[in-house]
Structure 1
Amino acid sequence: MAATTKAAQEALRLAEDDPDRALALAAAVVRQARAEGDPGAAAVAERAWGLAAFHREDLDTAMRHLRRAITLGRSAGSATLAAEARMTLAFALNQRGRPRQALREIDVAIEHLGRVEGARARAQRGAILHQLGRLDEALACYRAALPVLRRANDLLWIQRVVLNRGVLHGQRYEFAAAESDLSEAARLCERLDLGLSLGYVHANLGYVHGLRGDVPVALDFFHRAQERIGALHAQLGPLLTDRSELLLSVRLLPEAREAAEQAVAEFEREGRRLALPEVRLLLARVAFLEGDHPAAERQARLAVREFDRQQRREWAALARLIVVRSELAGERRPRVSLRRVEGVVDAVARSHWPVAAIDGRLLVARLALERGRLPEASAQLERASRPRATGPALLRARAWYATALARLTAGNARGAARALRAGMAVLDEHGAALGATDLRAYAAGHRAELSELGLRVAFQDGRPRAILEWAELGRASHLRQRPVRPPDDAALAADLAQLRATVIEIDKARPRRPPAGLLQRQVALERRIRDHSRFGRGEPGPATARHLAVRELGADLGDRALLEYVRYDGDLYAVTVVGGRLRLHRLGPVARVRDLVDRIPFGLRRLARRSGTVAGRSGALALVRHAARGLDDALLAPLTEVGDRAIVIVPTAPLHAVPWSILPSCAGRPLSVTPSAALWQVASHRAARTRGG
């Protein structure tokens, strides 16, 4: 009998760390204990069986075996065994959505347990309260249980408590305390050889470091967690979802998509139907941002069906918007009904997705304008522009974009330009705050839209200076660095971490209307971060974020000439700055230049071959020379004011691949190539200070 009891205890030890092995062992022990007439060993084995089933998310099986464990504990005359089984049953009941019954069970268990066992039950009570969001009460339970467990050197339960408390500290933005507890939990897992538990600890450490903005460290912990959890065939879906969202937040789209695809596959394999459509929606969003609109539409349609089956109308509305956006981005655009899109957007607005609602109204407005339905477009733009004065920064920036489009539609180009600059100013002022989790995934795209519309307004106006300024703002949008480490300034880092956590809380509260206090906290944190960055010790933004100082540009260039190439409406243009004067040149279709650019690498590769024939090399050389002359005629010959000056070239796609030095007009001429004039200006100022100092 002693051997059977020992085997039952081993099954209980394995239940949390290796559920598959625990199930097999527990079943064997139950059979043996019944044969031996040992209800005590059977009670422990049934509890192990129930706990292992719980960790495999088979709650029906878990509760059935835990109730058997309670009955067997009573049959053995052991109030302790019955109470310990009741303690585990309470946690399963809470997972099933029966919190009141769970708390009743745990309170009964505490009454029948001794000092150490009672501490374990209090820790379990804390875990139940924790899941219910009653964080203060949960923390009090953890604090009451932990000293008793430490005095008893109950390492397994100490590990469980510090893990749970670490997660709780993270939810309360107490990141140093969270790291301390989770690090202790990791050490205990290694000491106790708890591989699966260590995987969960690493997953939580990754989540906390993600909140702190330390993306490389977070990804390292996620990787370690995935290796351990995957090796034990436990649930990887939630971890892969967190990984995808973190990668999306720093715009690593291929990696984010791979993680989202893996998460969908895991949730499908695990049969976790409730969580599946949200992860599928994440995959659809990433695919859309990658430009794979058919895949985005396919995943979003599946998500719509799954949300509809679950009667989650608000989430289904959001998924339908991605379906519509994907259709309109593809070949079926002419067949999409305006009334249908309006209905989808109205449903999104009713479901409390404010940024998505603005984007949807912009979509309807553009579609209405294409189809000549100006009143409907104007009505949608007016509604989308309302939040421009109050609320979170990203919402205000989108509203300013809608305002600009409304003014441009009404023929007020100057008013549109003012609105676009106001929207850009919001994004610039809150640049540090928009590094927060989900926000930074979209801020760059919104900045690019503002600059593209600004460039359109500038071309309609025809002033070279405005075209240069908006072209530079567009370049800054693409070159802007996304921070992957928290700033050195501790106060700024803490505020950013709190903002990330607040944004996550708001997202979790949707699609219900988030509590006003959360939204107020988000706005207050954004303002505090803005002010800290502006007046405090916050670190300056990257050089690419600087706006071009056009008035200083002539003096900065000296005897040099600036050539900034710009694409607009299928044509290539050049803005030149020579002797302080700006000029605009239309150079012709982009397609003609692209064809010439594509010939040069082909010819150079043939020239580089050692095995080529003399005739082949001669032909390749002629091809390169012909393309170089053609590019010279297209890109440089029309710019007669440049003369023989040294030149600073700011290319645009497809000119990034041009080997400028082989163009005839560049032979022997000093030249430099830069991604943006603003970046060159910053570098020239820095070089001047170095020479002067």
Structure 2
Amino acid sequence: MPARALDRARESYQRGWAEQAKFRFPSAIRFLKRALVHTERADATPDRAELRARIMYTLGLCQGEISGMSVAVEAFEQARREIDTIPDVALRARLHGSVDGNQGLMVMRLGQPDQAVEWFSRYISYAEQEFQPGEPDSNLTQGLMSCLLNRGFAYAAVRKREPAIADLERVIKLGGEYELPQYYPFAVHALGNVHKQSGDLAEALRRYEEAERIFRADDQPERLARLQLDQAETMLMIGLSDEAGKHLDEALPMMRTQKFGQEIAEVEMFRASAALLDGELDLARRMAKASMRKLEKRGSTWWMMAALIELWAHAMQAKRVSNALVQKALVLSDHLAANQLVDEARLAKLLAARLEVRRGKLADGEELLRQLPGPRAVTPIDHRMQRRLVLAELALAKGNRRAALLHARKGLEELGQVRDQLGGLELVSATAVHGRQLGELAIQLALENGDARQMFVWLERTRAQAYRYEPLEDFENPELAERIVEVRGLGRDLMRAGLDGRPTAELRAKLSKAQREANRLGWNAQRWGRPRPVAGISEIVAELGERAMVSFVVSGGGIVAVVVSGGQVRLIRLGDAREALESAQKLHFDLNALAPDHLPPPLLEVIGGSARKQADRLDQLLIKPLTHLIGERELVMVPTGSLYAVPWGVLPRLHGRPVVTAPSATAWLAAAQSAKPKADRVLLVRGPSLQFAHGELDRLAAYHDRAAVLSGDDATAGKVLAHLDGADLVHVAAHGEHETENALFSRLELVDGPLFAHELGRLRKPPAHVVLAACSLALNRIRPGDEALGFAGAMLAGGTRTVVAAASKVGDEASAAAMADYHQALVAGAAPAVALAEAMAKDPFRRPFLCLGSG
């Protein structure tokens, strides 16, 4: 019957509409096509025409996602023809407005947000004319809010901050007035985009986290997937390429299951961008090409952004720069500019200019740079760094080394301004990747100049910037605390499952997901104050006294030492960097193998011989060339790369010598000038599963008769944290583990589960002197810019003056013996570095400890 056919059509339409709202486009298309079939059996009435129009424009939106713009436009035109048959003028206007809104949404998703604004504005104008505040039409109100929301997204995409915020705040206001809370998380998501495009990346992440909480609570995985794309882009803008990749990997399976079109192509594009940032050029090109093919097929202008990534990676791989490559960059720049992708167009022209400089056509490169205006307020930091890099390379090619260094300095100052706006340790340290090439250029120039003082200054400008910031008291974040408890519980469950021989794959996946969520929440959980000024040479000389400082740096394949000693600064070339760094890695491997307490003598001899060989090699490469400068002085070492894992006391020339390891001279100076601890408040902690822990802490308690002792059931994460706050000396005898994928989840194993580095930010006053026995939790994770992270790194950045930790694995018995000797020397009045040198000297290869910070 005709009437029944229309009812069935409405039912299928509603199911199709619900599916498209969840981004389930294939199933939505099936329901919508079924609805159209039902309408063909109904009588030709205005109700039928209205329903067919709604079906068609909804179908157009879904088909556009799958098949591209041309199919969508045809469906929209069919809907408009159907609408024109309706006699009711007001209804015709409303339906045409709905088509305008859907067409705007389709255009925006295809990479044309400026055109989308025009389509959305048409519907908004209609809705505002019809809107009656006293007696609002629910459908009209929701239509207006949806279009304001979408226009806010579009304004954000074209970096029009004020109108975007106005639209989104209006959505929030209308939602409150008319009890429509479902629009709130979308408005918050869009506000995150506004902050992202205006460069306030920390605030963008905070907004995204708020929206994410709601989407997760409401079980909206499709909305969450779209949000994760914007979160990943923001992470890339900060420099968190690893984290962005994991975020995208989490979103991709659901997108593939639901057969998303645009989003999958965007994931591939952002993955290409992450690979480019990490220097994985083959992967960057492969992912960019895959994204480009999908976007071109869909008719999305975003294919040009994928093409720019592919072209950039190609240019970095090219051994010879051809004219064709330059022209390709210029043509792409024109295409991007024609589509209002302003910053991307400038970046493509910057690439062309850099290629011209590389092939020696300096006048052409300079002319291209002259055509480019300066950066806008909203220009991303990576674009700014590329501009400074090209200007520096041009100046260098013209023989103006001073101008090249000036551009490098200004670029790093701009990067510092971005860093100053960020929150937690992970965010601050991640930005270094954007200044890596500028820093390398400046270091290379200083090395070529042979100017040791200039080299010292540039090292301090480019390395370990996270340690320059004064930590502030953090604010309570109940959700982060709850997530940490969840991670601790999952870790405990995983350990039990492993001991019981039960499958662990599902628990590992849950734990990994919970860690990522906690990490993202923790990015803004600790606030940082003003950065300390970079240490000057005169300050370092004054604080060193009779000690010497050695800063290592790798440049041009060689390793170099900058030595500050006796008031002088010297630059010493040490030879091949690869050989030294490989020896450091081999030594680390051997020391781990030597850690078990009772190795069979033949194995001990073989592994010990290998370790001594690597230690001798490092001694010859790194220390012997410096002996005339450092003599028998106590040392402050500022390592680079894998040298962070070297326990310096195993090197023959440093046997028994006090050595402090620091991330930078600036970080060391800040620690050295902080108040020296009195050892009035001493805390001794005994973790579970340590063979010699009971005897160890009993001996230490005899040295510190007023010490607080937490062991057994008292050694919980909560109690340990509470006692850490304000302590003078803390000794933790507990196993621990460094988390390679996420440094702030490095952990100490306590009776109720792990204590994470994340949680140290909750301390109002960090402990002054911390000893981490029986675990390798030193500065194990090294980011670009020698941003050294890990459990010890979190403590140093948080204000702890001295951390003693193992550079590699250490046996329980060896650790207990070393720590007894260490504390005995401490209570006798020795400084930490001196006490550790004496303790290590008795058996250096089985006591591979470092004194970090200040000794």
TM-score bin, normalised by smaller chain: 0.5 to 0.7
Match of 2:354 among 359, 362, 374: 362
Alignment correspondent of 1:116:
none
- Pair 1:567 & 2:554 matched: yes
Q: What is the correspondence of 1:5-24 to structure 2 with a 5 Å cutoff? A: 16-19=17-20
Cα 1:176–1:415 shift into 2, 3 Å: closer
Offset at 1:460? 1.6
Equivalent of 2:327, from 343, 354, 362? 343
Aligned with 1:589 (options 553, 564, 576): 576
Q: Does the C-alpha gap of structure 1 residues 264 and 66 become closer, same or farther in structure 2, counting only changes over 3 Å?
A: farther
Hey, which of these two has a bigger chunk of strand by percent? 2
Taking a change above 3 Å as real, the CA distance of residues 14 and 159 of structure 1, as seen in their structure-2 partners, is: farther
Alignment deviations for residues 412-445 of structure 1 (CA, whole Å, 9 cap, x no partner): 444544454454455556766899xxxx999855
Return the match for 1:162 from 145, 159, 171: 145
Query: How much does 1:38 deviate?
Result: 8.6
Tell me which of the two structures has the higher relative contact order, counting C-alpha pairs closer than 8 angstroms and 6 or more residues apart.
2
Alpha-carbon spacing, 1:160–1:441, altered in 2? closer, same or farther (3 Å): farther
- Structure 2-normalised TM-score? 0.55
- The structure-2 alpha-carbon separation of the partners of 1:225 and 1:384, relative to structure 1 and needing over 3 Å to count, comes to farther
Counterpart of 1:165 in structure 2: which amino acid? Answer: L
Are the aligned partners of 1:561 and 1:577 in contact in 2 as well (CA < 8 Å)?
Answer: yes
Q: Which residue of 2 aligns with 1:114?
A: none
5+ residue gaps, structure 2, are: 65-71, 108-112, 156-160, 338-344, 476-526, 678-764, 769-855
Q: Distance in 2 between matches of 1:215 and 1:15?
A: 33
Alignment of 1:182-331 (within 5 A): 182-183=171-172, 203-204=189-190, 206-208=192-194, 210=196, 213=201, 214-220=203-209, 223=212, 239=227, 241-257=229-245, 281-301=269-289, 322-330=309-317
Q: Distance in 1 between matches of 2:400 and 2:367?
A: 18
- DSSP-derived class of the 2:282 partner: helix
Structure 1 distance, partners of 2:429, 2:587, is 36
SS at match of 2:624: coil
Secondary structure of the 1:630 match is helix
Letter in 1 for 2:324: R
Alignment of 1:399-410 (within 5 A): 401-410=389-398
Judge conservation of contact 1:560–1:645 (CA < 8 Å) in 2. Answer: yes
Aligned residue for 1:548, secondary structure, equals: coil
> How far apart are the structure 2 equivalents of 1:455 and 1:618?
42
Give the Å deviation of 1:388: 9.6
Letter in 2 for 1:675: P
Does residue 629 of structure 1 match 2:616?
Answer: yes
Change beyond 3 A, Cα 1:205–1:378: closer
Runs of 5+ unmatched residues, structure 1 = 98-126, 369-375, 488-537
Q: Secondary structure at 2:633's aligned position in 1?
A: coil
> Residue 567 of structure 1 aligns to a residue in which SS?
strand
- The Cα shift of 1:279 comes to 6.9
Tell me the distance in 2 between the aligned counterparts of 1:356 and 1:50. 40
**Which secondary structure does the structure 2 equivalent of 1:132 belong to?**
helix
Match of 1:556 among 543, 565, 587: 543
SS in 2 for 1:151: coil
Q: Could you tell me how far 1:577 is from its partner in structure 2?
A: 0.9
Structure-1 residue corresponding to 2:162: 173
Give 3-state SS (helix, strand or coil) of 1:246's partner. helix
- The structural deviation recorded for 1:639 is 2.4
| Alpha-carbon separation, structure 2, partners of 1:176 and 1:346 | 34
Question: Which residue matches 2:600?
Answer: 613
Distance 2:15 2:95 in 1: 16
Paired position in structure 1 for 2:658: 670
Alignment RMSD (CA, Å): 5.2
Q: Deviations over 1:630-673 (max 9, x none)?
A: 32333233322323333221001231221224334444443321
d(CA) in 1 for partners of 2:92 and 2:42? 20
> Separation in 2 of the partners of 1:358 and 1:218?
32
Indicate if the aligned counterparts of 1:129 and 1:138 stay in contact, CA closer than 8 A.
no
- Counterpart for residue 46 of structure 1: 52
Q: CA deviation at 1:221?
A: 5.4
1:680-691 correspondence runs (5 A): 680-687=668-675
Structure 1 pair 421–227 and aligned structure 2 pair: CA distance change class (3 A): closer
Letter in 2 for 1:583: R
The verdict on how the C-alpha distance between 1:403 and 1:608 changes in structure 2, with shifts beyond 3 A counting, is closer
CA distance in 2, matches of 1:304, 1:31: 36
Deviations 1:443-494 (A, max 9, x none): 855532222222222112212111212222231579899x9xxx9xxxxxxx
Q: Is the 8 A contact 1:382 1:402 kept in 2?
A: no
> Normalized per residue, which structure has more helix?
1
The answer to whether the 8 A contact 1:40-1:81 is kept is no
Give 1:555 shift.
Answer: 1.1
Q: Which secondary structure state, in structure 2, belongs to the residue aligned with residue 638 of structure 1?
A: helix
Q: What's the secondary structure of 1:636's corresponding residue?
A: helix
Give, in angstroms, the shift of residue 283 of structure 1.
4.3
Whether the aligned pair in 2 keeps the contact of 1:94 and 1:128 (CA below 8 Å) is: no
Percent of pairs identical after alignment?
22
- Letter of the 1:18 counterpart: E
Distance change >3 Å, CA 587–CA 36, structure 1 → 2: closer
Distance 2:574 2:115 in 1: 69
| Distance apart, 1:568 and its partner CA | 2.3
Shift of residue 578 of structure 1? 1.5
Report the Cα offset of residue 551 of structure 1.
2.6
Matched with 1:526 is none
Q: For 2:572 and 2:407, how far apart are their aligned partners in 1?
A: 27
Is contact 2:356–2:362 with CA below 8 Å preserved after alignment? no
Task: Give the Å deviation of 1:587.
Answer: 2.2
Deviation, structure 1 residue 253: 1.5
Equivalent position SS for 2:549? strand
Q: 1:4 to 1:320 in 2, by over 3 A?
A: closer
C-alpha distance in structure 2 between counterparts of 1:179 and 1:356, whole Å: 32
**Aligned match of 1:378:** 362
Give the CA deviation at 1:618. 3.1
Native 8 Å contact 1:241 1:263 kept in 2: no
Tell me the secondary structure at the aligned position of residue 648 of structure 1: strand
1:547 Cα deviation after fit? 2.9
User: Aligned in 2, Cα 1:684/1:388: closer, same or farther, shift over 3 Å?
Assistant: farther
Offset at 1:598?
2.2
1:657 aligns with 2:658: no
